[in-house]
Amino acid sequence: MTEKPAIKSKLISLSDAVGQIADGSHIAIGGAALHMHPMAFMRELVRQRKRDLTVLGEIQGVEVDLLAGAGALRRVESSGVGLERYGLARNFRRAVERGELVMADYSDTMAMDRIVAKGENLTFWPVSFIGGTDIPRYLPDLVEFDCPITGRTLYAMPPARVDVAVIHMPYADERGNVLITERRLMPQSQDLVYARAADRTYVTVEHIVSHDFIRRSPQLNHLPAFQVTGVIEAPWGAHPGSMPDFYDYDEGHMEEYVEASKTPETFEKYLERFVHDAGDEATYLERVGIRNLLKARKVVL
């Protein structure tokens, strides 16, 4: 009787996963604004002092601001960066104003379509709605052409370069099968696009579960193992942002973050306390404090 081949585990530590990210990489980061960003992965990027990264996505938030404040970024390709009710992303804004960071502005739709084009292995994506705007002026890689069907003026947008996708999800097994919750919102759908377009995809999750758990909910397995490079168990991995059905964003810590980001000097102290000196995610969560975490926790029914 032929023995079954051993199941290859795709479990990897946070430090080892980030160690595989080269300086200068183009990274699609999951989540939107204050929600579902893989913040544990972002903090480890800062700990390992990665540099010259390009971040791409649709609606960026605290993850880009953190990386900008740490000097990890060279370029951002997105429709915008902000902290929702907490106002401006100050670290990001300072870096752009000083010329330390380039912002390539895309509309929401364009920001996603160029990643879809990468996933579909297309040479370009047609754009029909930017005539009369300054977008073509500031994105010189767009090519104007006449539609062969209607004669209408269109723009050919090249696919995005996506070396790596990093997303945060609820569950995965050690084989790399990833489950999303049944109530699927916009960020989850976007994250699947990023994962399928990237050359490599790393997924941080709230819980590692058994393969039997995955098999009981096959309708939620929208990201199968063959599309995943590595999975990392990272409870509270979206903190201080929210993780739908698990926890809300941490108001107390976000206020502390915003206050710290007012100047480069105060933000450096924040990074020392919560990232560099903390050393790992367990210590980070200890320093955030159990009271803040319990306030943000949700009951999953």
H or E stretch covering 210: none
Whether the CB-CB separation of 182 and 220 falls below 8 Å is answered with yes
Task: Tell which phi-psi region holds residue 215, choosing left (phi > 0), alpha (psi between -120 and 50) or beta.
Answer: alpha
Range(s) within the chain of domains with CATH label 3.40.1080.10: 14-105+161-296
Q: How far apart are CA 292 and CA 37, in angstroms?
A: 18
Whether the CB-CB separation of 258 and 272 falls below 8 Å is answered with no
Chain CA centroid to CA 179, Å: 17
Over the stretch 103-125, which tens digit does the pLDDT of each residue have? 999 999 999 999 999 999 999 99
Q: Where are the alpha helices (DSSP H) in the chain?
A: 14-19, 39-47, 62-69, 90-97, 108-119, 135-138, 186-197, 211-216, 251-260, 264-271, 281-288, 290-296
pLDDT of residue 301: 39
Per DSSP, the residues of 41-87 read: HHHHHHHTT--SEEEE-SSB-HHHHHHHHTT-EEEEEES-B--GGG-
Helices 39-47 and 62-69: angle between axes, nearest 10 degrees: 10
Task: Tell which phi-psi region holds residue 158, choosing left (phi > 0), alpha (psi between -120 and 50) or beta.
Answer: beta
Q: How far apart are CA 61 and CA 26, in angstroms?
A: 17
User: Is the CA virtual torsion 236, 241, 247, 251 positive or negative?
Assistant: positive
Whether the CB-CB separation of 71 and 226 falls below 8 Å is answered with no
Q: Is the whole-model pTM more than 0.75?
A: yes
Over the stretch 216-253, which tens digit does the pLDDT of each residue have? 999 989 899 999 999 999 999 999 999 988 999 999 99
What are the structure tokens assigned to 219, written together? 């309708």
pLDDT of residue 82: 95
The pair phi, psi for residue 212, each rounded to 5°, is -65, -35
Given a cut of 70, the residues of the chain with pLDDT beneath it are 1-6, 184-187, 298-301
pLDDT of residue 4: 61
Check whether domain 14-105+161-296 has CATH 3.10.310.30, yes or no: no
